[in-house]
A and B are shown apart, each in its own frame.
Chain A
Amino acid sequence: MRSLLLLLKNNFRKRKTFSVSIVILSLLVVLVGSSAICGLKMNGDVYDKVYEASSSPDVLMCYPGGNYDDSLLEELKEYDNITDAESIEELFTSIKNKEDKEISALIGSEKAFDMDVNGNELYLSNYYSNTSQFERGDTVEVNIGDYSGEFVVSGFFEDPVFGSSIMKYNQMVISDDKFNEICETGELRDANKKYLIYTWWNDDISKDELPDSVSETLSNFSGRSLSEFIYDKTYIRKAYTMIPNIISIVMILATFFIGLGSAYVLRYALKNSIEGDYKEIGTLKALGCYYRNIKKAYAWFYLFLVLTGGVIGYIISLFLSGIICKVYLNINGIDGKDYLGSSRSGIGIFILLVFLIIAAFIVTLSLHPLKKILPVEAIRGIRRRKEKNTGSIIRPRFIPFTLRLLFKQWISRAKQYLSIIIVAGLFGFLMCSVISLSKTFSEKEQVYKILGLPQNDIVLISENADNMEIVKEKIASEYETGAYSSFHQATLNIDDQSSVALIYSEIPGTLELVSGNKPQNDDEIIMGYSLSRTLDKKEGDTVSIESVDGESFTYKIVGLYQTANNLGKEFHMTEEGFRQLNPDIAFTQKVLKLKDGEEIEKVANEFEDNEYNVRVVNGRASTDGLISTVQSSLNALIYVVMIISILLSGVITLMLTIMSVAKEDSDLKKFRLLGVRLSVLRWQYIFRIVISSLIGCLIAFVVFFLVSDSMFNKLVTIAGLSKIDVISDKWAYITVAFVFVVAGALISAIATSRIRKYRYVNH
């Protein structure tokens, strides 16, 4: 045992550089992996608790003013599965944020929210605070119908139902008095009102069973096709966890890459140790030390390093996962501090154990050559390995000699620098992916296309179709306009699956199909890719949709499109097609496309107060928040990946260069003796890092070019999309190469600073 301890101590003294690298890498694997998964799990758990504590509904329905009456509520209460139901009247408007951009909002009264609000106080959903749109003391102008008034932001509240950036509306609360005042001022149109029906369902229906139960139970509900949307709580939860899910997947991918890098460094360190201790191992064997004991000494030492790093990583992850969870919650405007509680310690331990087992496997495999070392040969320093002459300082002659020398030195030690190639390759790939994604999502119009969000620039809302025509003409006389169409949104049962139907008199030309074509006939529909997967339907298949009378109509799927709108669970149909299901429906909305997207806000402002009682709304106000969240999340990811990349490659570069200088001490002296300049000696180490990083980046670019499409297409299925055409940007490549080369060159320059004092003679 004492001899074993001695060997361990000796090992550490000799291999500080590798020891620190392995500890740091193991730390990163457990830290990033555990934090990503724990953060995601905690986010889900906290969200569930917040949702439960806020008595939020199991199923939420939304009705535009004209489509609601109290009989719907009574009808719902009759269902056996529904234990309770209540309706809340809210006012639909758009307000301007600090950047003077319009955002859609639902305004509720204090009574409905069980809050105390006085005078002209206004309470906003946390979402508005977290996206820095508002802070306490800000003044907000509210214009609804004939009412116009200013409110002061007095606080924020947690909104687990409408608080996500994915949701179409976010909520605000004013006092009952003000709410009544607005309702009683002038002629408040139905278009200004939204009715939310909250229903609570039997406890014995599990979360997983709820969507099917909702579809089944509400199949004959008369208010189904009148609703703007019907969301159950699993659907709302998905909206809240979509962005954290994507961020976590990237982090888990990063963990996998760091794990690969760690495995390589561990194997390399072991091989290096055996080589370095060759004579010593021979002596120990000659002295009668068992092969098993020598193997144990190495195995314990390296596993101890992995365990140390892993445990430190695990401990830090207990704190970091909480921070990540808070970030995730903040993205969705959830405070959740009362429910944060303890971290998911089990996950971290599991990751630590898995990594330890992998490390043990690598260690066992790498220590096998110990057995083959013969004491007689080792003591005399005889090695069976043959030195190969790799590279040449003679050719090619068109390259200057100094470069030839640098190349030869690098080639003959290429294995040593494989870790840099691997790290630059893996993280270069990750960085290319994130930068390209960010580039793809940087243009708003592009995001609309990718996410399949409706591009309804201006929405006209009125019960009087003629008035809407007049307002539309007025807009067209001043601005260049495009497609103009009637619009209605309803929730329908399609093959017993509750889904959102978007009904247009003319399906928007901006909607890009993945396959097929747009409906030409009334019995044709186009379907969101995600819904088609849920229903296991493809282009050319037929589906059955229930009418308000419970009668089934058959429609043919003529095209598929990708969309994240309504989490992909939506389909488009024509106005006439929808009239088969609900002949009495009055279309109270028209959507208008403007030629210049920059004018949307201007048009909405200019025509907001018109004499025809037509509401003119910025139709993109609700989706712009989602786009900003996606863009800022991607930008944050770039920084996270860049920091991890620089940190990891920096540590490996530093360790490797210090180790190489120490290992090549004898060669350095010889070069100095022969008259090689100090600067040339320093440059060869910098060059090795630079060339290794560049090769790694090159591999990353090639792999990215080959697999990025299929990888991204798989990734976006989480968001209900089928494919994504990622814009690969040359700047992404240049940035990645630049980061690795510059960081590597700087760090290796620092690590080789001791060469400056190098003399042939040892003092």
Chain B
Amino acid sequence: MSALLKIEKLTKKYDTETILHGLDTVINEGEFTVVMGSSGSGKTTFLNCISSMDRPTDGKVLFKGEDVFKGSDKKVSDFRVKKMGFVFQDMNLIENMSVLENIILPAYLAKKIPDKEVVQKGKALIENVGLSGSENKMPKELSGGQKQRVAIARALINSPDIIFADEPTGALNSKTSEIILDMLTEINKKGQSIVMVTHDIKSSLRADRILYLKDGMIGDEMKLEKYNGADDGTREKKVSEWLQNMGW
């Protein structure tokens, strides 16, 4: 697998407090990476920095060799809308836009496909995430799980190289969480990279690799490939043990 995101000496400080201490890592193409760590370890800050939502204080984030933060706000915004997709715990849907509008908004911003096709693609995605007939509904009319499905569809509209997910199942019940995780796994299988922050062990089992952040540094990483043949129980046990060793 070739490197999609190369993170070099990533440092983030807020005033005098250093959150990330010169992190180095690589996110490969088609890889499902889970970021874990105890509260305050810098997981979300890490995700924000590598997804270009927040500028690091020092260090580089290279997307296919290109420095993400090199250039104006316009360039960074364009880069984000074209190459990345986002799924968050609180869904972040625009309240005064319908389901369809929420999904196709990034496509309009990216201008990668003609206007006519945007709507068709949006409708197809609605169908894919199992929300047929809901395109004109408003976010307020949807349940938490439905909202997250809309957020996933939105993240997919521009066929991004990578999807960043910050606790995507944090606000959902276990049944709905499973559905969402299945969807993300499915997306990953189709070749899109995923970086997901979570504190849920069951969710982390979907990953190819788990990065464990500790006090703003990468404490360790665990590759789950070697347990690919094992059942869920075994995988869960292995991950739990590893996490315990890390001080989880």
Binding site for B on A (CB under 8 A): 386-390, 392-394, 397, 401, 405, 408-409, 412-413, 667, 669-679, 759-761, 763
Q: Are B14 and A387 in contact (CB under 8 A)?
A: no
Partner of B92, one of A387, A409, A673, A675: A673
Binding site for A on B (CB under 8 A): 14, 48, 53-54, 73-74, 77-82, 86, 92-98, 100-101, 104-106, 108-111, 115-116, 119, 136, 138-141, 154
For B85, the closest partner residue in chain A by CB is: A674
Q: How many Å lie between the Cα of A761 and that of B82 in the bound state?
A: 20
User: Can you report 22 residue pairs joining A to B where beta carbons are below 8 Å apart?
Assistant: A386-B140, A387-B139, A387-B141, A389-B97, A389-B136, A389-B138, A394-B104, A401-B109, A405-B105, A667-B94, A670-B93, A672-B77, A673-B53, A673-B86, A674-B80, A674-B105, A674-B106, A675-B80, A675-B82, A676-B81, A759-B54, A760-B54
For B88, the closest partner residue in chain A by CB is: A673
* Chain A interface main SS type: loop
Q: Are B101 and A412 in contact (CB under 8 A)?
A: no
Question: 13 additional contacts, CB 8 Å, given A409-B96, A670-B93, A672-B53?
Answer: A387-B95, A389-B96, A389-B98, A394-B101, A405-B105, A670-B92, A672-B77, A673-B53, A673-B86, A674-B86, A675-B79, A676-B77, A759-B53
CB-CB nearest 8 A-B residue pairs: A675-B81, A401-B108, A412-B96, A761-B54, A675-B80, A387-B138, A760-B53, A670-B92
* Chain B nearest CB, measured from A411 CB (Å): 9
Q: Are B110 and A760 in contact (CB under 8 A)?
A: no
Q: Are A393 and B105 in contact (CB under 8 A)?
A: yes
Q: How many Å lie between the Cα of A670 and that of B119 in the bound state?
A: 21
**A-B contact number at CB 8 A:** 88
* Chain B nearest CB, measured from A760 CB (Å): 5
A397-B115 CB under 8 A given contacts A389-B97, A677-B77, A678-B73: yes
* Chain A nearest CB, measured from B66 CB (Å): 16
Q: How many Å lie between the Cα of A430 and that of B108 in the bound state?
A: 42
For A409, the closest partner residue in chain B by CB is: B96
Q: Hey, which chain B residues are within 8 Å of A673, CB to CB?
A: 53, 86, 92
Partner of A674, one of B81, B100, B115: B81
A392-B48 CB under 8 A given contacts A387-B95, A397-B115: no
For A761, the closest partner residue in chain B by CB is: B54
* Chain B nearest CB, measured from A753 CB (Å): 15
Q: Hey, which chain A residues are within 8 Å of B92, CB to CB?
A: 669-670, 673
Q: Are B96 and A387 in contact (CB under 8 A)?
A: yes
Q: Hey, which chain A residues are within 8 Å of B97, CB to CB?
A: 389, 393, 408
Partner of B109, one of A389, A674, A760: A674
Q: Are B101 and A393 in contact (CB under 8 A)?
A: yes
* Chain A nearest CB, measured from B68 CB (Å): 13
Q: How many Å lie between the Cα of A760 and that of B54 in the bound state?
A: 7
* Chain A nearest CB, measured from B235 CB (Å): 32
For A391, the closest partner residue in chain B by CB is: B96
Partner of B110, one of A386, A387, A413, A675: A675
* Chain A nearest CB, measured from B99 CB (Å): 10
Q: Are B86 and A763 in contact (CB under 8 A)?
A: no
Q: How many Å lie between the Cα of A405 and that of B106 in the bound state?
A: 12
Q: Are B108 and A393 in contact (CB under 8 A)?
A: yes
* Chain A nearest CB, measured from B114 CB (Å): 10
Q: Hey, which chain A residues are within 8 Å of B95, CB to CB?
A: 387, 667
Q: Hey, which chain A residues are within 8 Å of B82, CB to CB?
A: 675
Q: Hey, which chain B residues are within 8 Å of A393, CB to CB?
A: 97, 101, 104-105, 108
For A760, the closest partner residue in chain B by CB is: B53
* Chain B nearest CB, measured from A387 CB (Å): 4
Q: Taking each of B79, B94, B116, which has the highest tally of chain A beta carbons within 10 Å of its own beta carbon?
A: B94
Q: Hey, which chain B residues are within 8 Å of A759, CB to CB?
A: 53-54
Q: How many Å lie between the Cα of A672 and that of B74 in the bound state?
A: 11
